[in-house]
Each structure stands twice: as C-alpha cells, then as structure tokens.
Structure 1
Amino acid sequence: MAARYKIRCSVIGHEKDVRAVTPSLFPDGGIISTSRDVTARLWIPTEHELGFTEAHVMSGHSNFVNCVCVMPPDEKYPQGLIMTGSTDNNILAFNLESPSPVYKLEGHTKTVCSLAAGKFGTLVSGSWDETAKVWLNEKCLMTLKGHGAAVWCVTILPEGGFMLTGSADKSIRLWRAGKCEKTFLGHEDCVRGLAVLSTIEFLSCANDASVKHWSTDGTCLHTYYAHTNYIYSIALLPNGKDFVTTGEDRTMRVWSGGECIQTVAHPTESVWSVCVLANGDIVTGASDGIIRVFSSDQSRQASEEEQKTYEELLASSAIPTQIGDIPASELHDPEALLIPGKRDGQNLMVKDDNNIQMYQWDASKSHWNKIGDVVGASGGSQASSGKQLYQGKASTLRSGTLNVVLLEYDYVFDVEIQEGGPTRKLPYNLTEDPWMAAHNFLANNDLDQMLLDQVAKFIIEQTKGVSLGMAMQPTVSDPLTGGGRYIPRMNETGNTELHASDPFTGPGRYMPSYSSPENGGEHGSDPYTGNTSYKPSASSSVKQINTNFPVTSYISFDQAKISGILSKLKEFNGKVNPAIQASEEVLTRLADLLNGDPPKTKDLDNLSALLKWPSGMLFPVLDIIRLLIRSENVNQYFCCQNKGVDFLNFLLSFISMDAPVHNQMLSLRTLCNIFKNEPGRNVEVKIQCLAAAVTVSESQNDGEASYRLLACIGTLIDGDKNSAEIAKSLGVLQFINRCIMIPEPAKISECAKQLEMILR
C-alpha cells in the first residue's frame, strides 16, 4: 500500500483566503501563494526544520489575487517571473528583486482567474470575461473566444502549440493558433481545473464533484467520483499518472490507479487550491488563510504530538449545514461507529443527544476519525417548493410603457447587506456558477465586489445538498466555422438545385484564376519556381548569405475575370435561402467596387453578410474579397481587432481536404493578399499563416512543396522574435528536422538548416 500523507506543517501569514499555490523555481523547494488579502508571497523551506519562512511579499493589485504561475528563466529574467492574476482584471509580473511588479498586462475586462506558462515564453490567461488570452513578450497575441461563460482554468499541452481552456459553460476547448480545434462535453457543472497527463491525454475537475480523464480526440476515457461537493483544483503527483484534488467538501484526496486511496480532511470549509512540490509533498491553500503541507516521507512528517494536535483541531472544527434539510436516513446512532467504513474518506453523521458530529473513515487505521461538529439550522427544503418568478431585464416599449420579463429561478433569496438596512433580491438557478451569480448580484446592486466571497458562500450554503441541473449543450455556434454549418453535398452530375450546366465543370463556367499577372504568372506559372520566380542576386562575400528567405519580392494574386465572378454571384444568389440573399442594389454596388469604386462601410457589411452562404456556393464571394482586400480600407475592415480573428479562422476552416477545392485555393490566396497592406501584417495574421503552414507540413511529402513551405515559414519569422517563438510552440521543428534529412534537391536541407539555426 502506498505511503500515507500526513501533515508536515501549517504556514501562517496570509490574512484572508489562500486562492492559489504553486512551486517556485527559485529557490528550489519553495512555495508561491496568492490571497484575497491582495498579496502574493514566496515561502522558502526553513533550514533544518519542517516549516517554511516568508521570504518575499509582492504587492500591486487592487483586489483579490486569484491565480499564479511561474514563467521559466530567459536572458532578461534569469530567475524567471512570478505572474499573478486578479479581480482588478490585470496580470502583474514580479521578480525576486522588488515587491513591486516589473510590468502589467492589461486587456481582460473582468476577473483574471487562471494562468498557465508555456515553455517558449508564452502565457495563457483565463477570465470571467469569457475569453482566454495568449501573451508573449508583454503583448497580447491572441484572444480565444468561444466559451459562453467564465474561463475558470487554462493549461498548455507539451507539444504542438495546443492549449486547453475549461469554463463555467461546462465545456473544455482545445485551441491551436487561436482556433478552437475541439470541444469536450460531459461535465454537468463548471469546469474548475485541468492537469496534463501527456501530449494526448489530460484530466479535468468540476463543480459536479467529478474528475474526468480525456483523450485529445474527444473521448472521455474515465470518470472518477469521491468528492461530495465542488472540486476546485487538481495537480499531478511526480509519477505523472496519479493525482490529487481539493474542493468544497473540506478535503484533499489522493488518487492512484483511478481510485481515491486517501482522504485528508481540513479544519476549514473550502480547500481552494493544491500543488505538488518536486519532492512529492502536497501543498494546499484554504479559506482560513492557511497553507498546509503534507508529506508521505516520514522524515518530513510532523511529530506525533503535532499530528495529534492537528487531529484535535479537525475534531473541534464546525461544519456548517442546514440541519432541517438533513434526511433522517443520513443521521446515525453512535453504535454506527462500530461498523467499518466501506471506503477511505467515507463520511458519517452521528447524532449524540442534541449534537450532530461528522466522522470520516481512515482505511489505513481502520478507524472513524471525528472531523467536526455539524452546526446550523434551517427550515424546509427548496426541493419541495418549485420554481420562483423574479423579474429579468426590463425594457421600454415603443408605447412608452415598461416591459418587465418574469423569469423562473430555483431560488430568490432576501439578502441584507447591512444590519437594519434594506433587503435585496438575489435570484439563483442551480445550473449557475455561484461566484458568477454573486458577481452579477453585486454589480446589479452597485455593491462592493469585495463582498464576492461572502455572497458566493451564502449561495453555496443555502443550496447545499440540492442536486445540480442536468448538463446543457452549448447553444452558441459560429455560423461560419461551427460544426453545424451547412455544407451542401455535390454529386458527380452537378448540384440538384442548378438545372443548367454544372457550375464547376460545364462549358462557359466561371473559373477562379490560378495565376498572378502582377508577376507575369499567366498560365499558372509557379511564383517560387517558374520563369518569373524571385531569384536573389548572388554575392561574392565570404559571409554566408541566406538565399532562401525572407522572400522580399511581394507576390499578390490579382488576375480576375470580373464578368464571370458577377455572373456566378448572381446565379448563386438566386439559389440560396431568401433570408440571406443579396438585393439587386447590393449586387450593383459589388460590381462597382470590382470596377474601382471606393468602398463604404455599408458595402463591406453587405459583403461580409454573404459569407453566410453555403460553402458550395461561396467561392465567388471569396473571390471578391480576395480582390478587394488589397485595398487598405477593406484590409482594415476585415483585419481589425474586432473582426480579424474570426475572419482568419473562417478562412482557415477551408484549408482542409474535405472543403471545396475552389474555397481552399481562394482562402489561401486571400490570406496572401491580406499582407499587401499594413493592417493585415500584424502578429495575429502571422500566427494564422504559420498555423496553416504547419498544418500543411504535417502531410507534405513533395520536395518542391516542402521547400516552398520552408521559405514561407522563414519569411514569416525572419526578424520577428514573437513569431519565431510561436512557430516553435506550434511544433514546426518536427517538419524542419524531417526536411534536413532530405538529400535532394540540396536547397531543401540547406533552407531547413538555416531555419533550425534561427529557432534553436
């Protein structure tokens, strides 16, 4: 049987809840903690003793400090950085030389509740604003949008540039280069923690009191149960397979082989966070402001006397509950303590005279340990009272009257903030996240967000023991790139809706151009290897010159048969659903734009609306955008901060083998033309192009095409440290190393070696 964890020490110093703990890099064996006392602190092992000493206090946030991670060392910060996220919406970076931050990251609009560091200097943050952000070198590179509620947890997979986010919308999402690659559904409540097992497997924990083991292909491999309430945090043990969890049931639980093998009770209500030190010791942060360290190594366990003191503290701690709601079947006579428990960590409520005591079964000792006295009182249960109506959003009708929508809630609480003051209504549904409900209540009533914890705990206590709602499928789906988008089926004889000749193979058909007249590329000559390809001039300099990249002669795709585009656009416009058809006025304006008329915002809004057409009829719309996006105004419209990511993800959705071939080609050419103007040359566009290049490289065996991809990657990262780091995080070195081994033509291995030198 595995060695049991016992208390090593209690670390006291924080004045309020300890919300996050993580191991420090410098010094080795230390602990970093964050708290609702608005500080982060570094604790180092006390020499020749079992305890920890406060070594560094970090201040700078103006509200609760909720999360922490450690950035690895680099040239600028040889001891790395300590990153903290707060309810003040900001992320601060600290080093060990000053209690003040060295810089601040701003961008989130609500509480920052999770952070994760990557091995190439990237940082991922999750927030109540329903987004995650990717940062590099003090800049936000990408904003990950798609969740329908707070992003409670984030992490980074070790290879391939993949990131995971878990949300209060009950889903987990897998991201790469800003694009959601997969959504994992299965949890029945908010996802609170993530832990990576390997490049293809991970764990998640949630408010539904379960831990799930996932494969990145979307399969839930196992579901584990033992906790009796919300699970807030999860961390791997040093063997990389077993793990530890903490939660609202006052416990830390150790898991091995999919079984809970030990339950360690805490003398406090919420065990917010857990981490594991390099030596295998487990660290927890709790709502009583105390950090506790547990060890399975006898040499690092507290003395027998201190162990006994901890057990007495557990026995004397009060466990709040609603006594009136406890079923009689859950209360036992003292004689029940003579019957062995069924599993480690099993709880038993024993009624002795007028007192109710909570006991927990310790399988290693075959003994029931008293872990607290149950206190509190309540009347009837909400389970028998049904739904309650309460007003939702109010709006003014055209008649001037006020329209108030009544919504159904599981609970509507009367909350008195100050003694003797007015009561306020707090509506709550069991499917909601208590902290988000508390946040909304405080915001709607103009109350101090410092009351957040108090209100959330009130909600939890008042609804304790009531079953959570069933899992709900997310209803938000991108009409352009979501899994439910319409992709019409084409048969070999043509579309059944088009009674004329086949629009793709029939005579007189409109064919998107495959050449680039600006560079003389008629008849489809290759801009990299054809007669008009860019060939840097030779040099007699002894210094080695990179003749492979960057490609400095800009190549755009300009050739077009405008009459054919407009003819096909009009034809398809008559076939699509009337709800998304373009008016004759819009079609006329698009013709004017293609003939050089300056575009107005309304024109571009109308063009953008046509992107909702079925993918099989979309290629004339893409061709129009390919041509117009060479204009700076149009480029700015589609590549601006608000639209850029969604538009790029939309284009990338067609770079798959199952997409219509015309859409594949036109999407890639649109991406190319985006770079013609400054708005399209930002880091985010580079990231999307890098992602596309890496995706293509994974299945690329043709030598000439491999060379073009290498030149493309080199051009994108040349002189741009941020893009180089992103390329590494996307796993581009695997493709480069494969190309180094290609003997002929020699330019492939030469180009690959030059890229490797830049990226190493």
Structure 2
Amino acid sequence: MKINSLKNLANAHADGVWAVAWAPATQSRGALLITGSVDETVKLWKGDELEPERTNTGHALGVVAVAAHPAGTLAASTSLDSYVRVFDVDTNATVATLETPPSEAWLMQFHPKGELLAVAGGGSASVKLWNTNTWQLEQTFMVPKSEVTTDNKSSEKSNAGKFVLAVAWNLDGNRLACSTMDGTVAIFDVARAKLLHTLEGHSMPVRSLVFSPIDSRILYTASDDMHIHMYDVESRSMISAFSGHASWVLSVDVSPDGAALVTGSSDRTVRLWDLKMRAAVQTMTDHTDQVWSVAFRPPGGDGVRVGRLASVSDDKSISLYEYT
C-alpha cells in the first residue's frame, strides 16, 4: 500500500484549516471534499480536482469540525460560536441551526444509517444525540466523573478532565465511543443508553478516534501523547500501540478497506500505517504546519477506481493524495 501526493492547494482558506470530511457521491455527482477553517467558513471542493464549489459563511467564529451524512446530501459544521449548522451539500441552504452552551460543540459524526448526529459536548462532559428528521435533541450520554483526591476530602467527585473532544460510531451503529481531554475513552451501548466501560492507556488528550469499517469491535485512537492505540471495545483490551510521530497526533482515519490507518500530527507530517504489519510505511511532508485533520474518501461513485485521501493544516492548505 502507498499514498502519492496529487495536489497541495496553498491558501485554500484565509486562516488555518482545522477540519476535513468527504460528502459521499450521489447519483448526480461525485464525492465532495468539505473543509472548515479558523476563518469562519466552510468550503466545498470537487473531490478529484480541488476546485472550489461553494462557500458557507454562517459561523461567527472559527470552525472546529465538519461531518457529512452517509447519503451525501447533508453536512454539518461546529464552531467556537457554539452553534451546529446543518446545510444542504448541493445548495448550501441551511437545514437546521442547533444551539449549544459555550464550549459544548466539538467534533461530531452522523450515525451509519444517518438517523442521528452525535456531537461531542466539550465542557459539559457529555455527548448529545440529535434526531436528523426533527433536529430535536433526542438523548444525552454523560461521561462518568473522575475520582479526585484532595487535601480536605479523601474522595471528591469531579468532572475534572472530562472535556469531551471527539465521537465515533461503530459500523453497526450500536456502539458510540467518545474521547476526553484526560486521555480516557468512554464506550456506550446506544440502544440501552448505557455506559459499558472506559478504555485507558493514553496519558494525554485523545483528539480523534475512528472505528474499523470492517470490524465493529475495533477502535483506533490518536493522542497528544504521540501514540495511536488499537482497542477491542468489547473485551476492553488494547490490541496494539503505534508510535513514530514526533509530536501530538491530532487526527486518525482508517481506509475503507480496513487495511491502513492515516494520521496527522503537529509534527507537520501525515503518516500511513499498515495494519497487518502494525507499522508506519510512509511519511508525507506536504504541509509546513501542524496537520489538524485527515480523511479517506468513502467508496462509491461512477468510475471511482482508486482511493483518495485529504489532509488539512494550520498552514492554510489542503493536500490531496492517491491511496492504492
């Protein structure tokens, strides 16, 4: 397996680019790339050419995350302005505007069947699930509090460190994982709205996580501790740990065939990892600043024979790669 650089688009945004996702292909068009920036805009690009399609200007502060509905028709963006904006990918029309308290809308992901949108709740120590038909808040999953020892009390319940950064659905949509600032990962049984357990092993914030597209038990996490972990969420066991980045690992994604991982880091590199070898096989240096987000293009679309991968950076650029 390998990735080849196809294009690096400098000054794609007027400020650092923090978020990237793919809107899957539909019957009328190919997949589109969605990017979100500190410049407060969300931009849509033709997936193979990186030619601009549309710009969405609805946010009042920097865009933290973008996500696409599995049908490819809708997308959502979260911002430091505490709003989640849902819009039509092909017309830019606003579908819904979801308001949250300050610091309570971070990374998000649509359910595999598209019926829910899970949003990491930041300082609320929760994950909020929004119904994508009514855009009403359907459920809130609370991340458990930590035990903290103080001078005055032997054990005091506290939410210290439980700032929820990212969320991920498994392939079946029956498990939801969320990561926190203190390095733990909570696993929920969605149907029963029940916390199953927490996964430990990271010593610093976990900013990104993704389930395998071929095995609902397998979860990959990326952390500021410079490591990527592979967990079995059912047995609560860490299968493997990957190391090689020289600084924080800010983003992780898994290839549609389930054979490779890609990571973006504040060491300014993008790395490709062979999951059979459990080792890095390639390091890309297209960016000149930290790489905030990476994303493989989902399968589907007429004439699509090779994979695509995108990365975005504080250097304001987008890089597009071919994955084979």
The equivalent of 1:162 in structure 2 is: 116
- Deviation of residue 210 (structure 1)? 0.7
The equivalent of 1:268 in structure 2 is: 246
Cα pair 1:113 1:126 within 8 Å, conserved: yes
Q: 1:255 and 1:262, CA in 2 relative to 1: closer, same or farther beyond 3 A? A: same
- Deviation of residue 107 (structure 1)? 0.7
Deviation digits for residues 98-156 of structure 1 (CA, Å, limit 9, x no counterpart): 44411111111111111111133111211111121111131111011134314111111
The equivalent of 1:171 in structure 2 is: 126
The equivalent of 1:234 in structure 2 is: 209
> Aligned runs of 1:387-466 on 2, under 5 Å?
none
Compare the two structures and name the one with the higher strand fraction.
Answer: 2
Cα pair 1:129 1:150 within 8 Å, conserved: no
The equivalent of 1:180 in structure 2 is: 137
- Deviation of residue 258 (structure 1)? 1.7
The equivalent of 2:265 in structure 1 is: 286
- Deviation of residue 277 (structure 1)? 0.8
Letter aligned with residue 128 of structure 2: R
> Aligned runs of 1:497-646 on 2, under 5 Å?
none
Letter aligned with residue 157 of structure 1: H
Q: 1:57 and 1:185, CA in 2 relative to 1: closer, same or farther beyond 3 A? A: same
Cα pair 2:22 2:32 within 8 Å, conserved: yes
SS at match of 1:152: coil
The equivalent of 2:168 in structure 1 is: 195
> Aligned runs of 1:654-733 on 2, under 5 Å?
none
Deviation digits for residues 537-586 of structure 1 (CA, Å, limit 9, x no counterpart): xxxxxxxxxxxxxxxxxxxxxxxxxxxxxxxxxxxxxxxxxxxxxxxxxx
SS at match of 2:216: coil
Deviation digits for residues 59-84 of structure 1 (CA, Å, limit 9, x no counterpart): 5310111111111112442x210000
Cα pair 2:70 2:113 within 8 Å, conserved: no
Q: 1:208 and 1:301, CA in 2 relative to 1: closer, same or farther beyond 3 A? A: closer
In 1, the alpha carbon distance for the partners of 2:194 and 2:270 equals 36
- Deviation of residue 159 (structure 1)? 3.5
1:113 maps to 2:64: yes
1:212 maps to 2:191: no
Deviates more, 1:115-124 or 1:245-254: 115-124
1:141 to 95, 120, 125: 95
In 2, the alpha carbon distance for the partners of 1:87 and 1:213 equals 30
Asked which structure has the greater RCO (Cα within 8 Å, sep 6+), the reply is: 2
Compare the two structures and name the one with the higher helix fraction.
Answer: 1
SS at match of 1:151: coil
In 2, the alpha carbon distance for the partners of 1:74 and 1:160 equals 15
Deviation digits for residues 298-354 of structure 1 (CA, Å, limit 9, x no counterpart): 59975xxx9xxxxxxxxxxxxxxxxxxxxxxxxxxxxxxxxxxxxxxxxxxxxxxxx
In 1, the alpha carbon distance for the partners of 2:5 and 2:180 equals 32
The equivalent of 2:276 in structure 1 is: 297
SS at match of 2:193: coil
1:151 to 90, 105, 115: 105
Gapped regions of structure 1 (runs ≥ 5): 1-49, 307-449, 452-760
Taking only aligned residues, the RMSD between alpha carbons, in angstroms, comes to: 2.5
In 2, the alpha carbon distance for the partners of 1:97 and 1:262 equals 34
Cα pair 1:127 1:150 within 8 Å, conserved: no
In 1, the alpha carbon distance for the partners of 2:86 and 2:138 equals 16
Max Rg structure:
1
- Give the share of equivalent positions with the same residue, in percent: 20
Q: 1:298 and 1:249, CA in 2 relative to 1: closer, same or farther beyond 3 A? A: closer
> Aligned runs of 1:9-408 on 2, under 5 Å?
50-58=1-9, 59-77=11-29, 79-96=30-47, 98-120=49-71, 121-136=73-88, 137-159=91-113, 161-169=115-123, 170-176=125-131, 177-186=134-143, 188=159, 189-197=162-170, 198-216=172-190, 217-237=192-212, 238-256=214-232, 257-279=235-257, 280-298=259-277, 302=281
In 2, the alpha carbon distance for the partners of 1:248 and 1:283 equals 16
- Deviation of residue 288 (structure 1)? 1.1
Q: 1:160 and 1:168, CA in 2 relative to 1: closer, same or farther beyond 3 A? A: closer
Q: TM-score, normalised by structure 1?
A: 0.32
Cα pair 2:189 2:196 within 8 Å, conserved: yes
